[in-house]
Amino acid sequence: MENVKDLNLTELVSAVIRKIWLVVLCAVIVGALAYAYTANFVTPMYRSSVTIYVNNNLQTTGNTGISASDLATSQRLVDTYINILKSDTVLTKVAEQANVGVSAAGIRYMMSAAAEGETEVFKVYISNADPQIAATIANAIADVAPAEIAYFVEGSSTKIVDYAKVANMPYSPNKTGNTTVGMVAGALAAVCFIVLQTLLDVRVKGEEDLAAISNAPVLGLIPDLAMEMKDGYGYKGYRGYKAYGGYTSDESDAKPREGRK
């Protein structure tokens, strides 16, 4: 006999439904553990940002307006500006300006930047466990960035749209999200356990299991012995079968029939 059953989707689904309590229990336990870990062991992080506008209008052209080509060029240059801001040259000046004991490498680690949609505006984010430090470094970038970008990219300029503010609430970790992931992981683990247990259970439990492993016909069934009586054993609960000793299966008191010994 094989050690694993053939895959039967209906049987697997039925097995999971029969043990749905185990799925719910595992989901609740793992979700609670994920929430407890997030709340007690994950350091809250605060984030501050500055918003920078990129202008590619060349002053040497004498054009006082902004054309569509200028905007398109500004959008393409956003990635260039972000890379310039992440350079050691710029971040060293930012570290000196902020003066909070964080090196250029440390600022790069906590820094992220992205364009605001398909616009010529981009944001620089600073994340730190101390909200005041995050805001101070972000504002130092706002002070240093315009001159540095203008120096490296001739003919372009930047303007600060919004300066950083001290965050009141942490943006990370996401307790709700982590708890949800934990619950889903617990439920999936329970389902996998039930499925594996069902596939590895190769015991023969009925006619269906016999038919699955052999083409031979079933000649008869052996019921469980329900009770022991004085004159022998009787079969209880199997209607339509006669038992030895003059007893019938449909007589719950297991008394002998009248007129028979």
d(CA 22, CA 66): 65
Greater confidence, 197 or 56?
197
- pLDDT digits over 215-224, tens only? 667 666 666 5
Would you list the domain boundaries of the chain?
A: 46-162, 223-261
Q: Domain 46-162: which CATH class? A: alpha beta
- pLDDT digits over 170-193, tens only? 989 999 999 999 999 999 999 999
pLDDT attached to residue 79:
82
For residue 113, the cross-strand partners are: 124
Greater confidence, 59 or 6?
6
Model confidence at 10, pLDDT cuts 50, 70, 90, reads confident
CA distance to 4, 92, 124, 260, per residue, from 115 (Å)? 54, 23, 9, 97
Q: What does the block give as tokens for 12? A: 């697997």
Region 90-115: what's the mean pLDDT?
93
69 three-state secondary structure: helix
If we measure between CA atoms, which residue out of 134, 126, 149, 151 comes closest to residue 78?
Answer: 149
pLDDT attached to residue 205:
64
pLDDT attached to residue 60:
42
Model confidence at 1, pLDDT cuts 50, 70, 90, reads very low
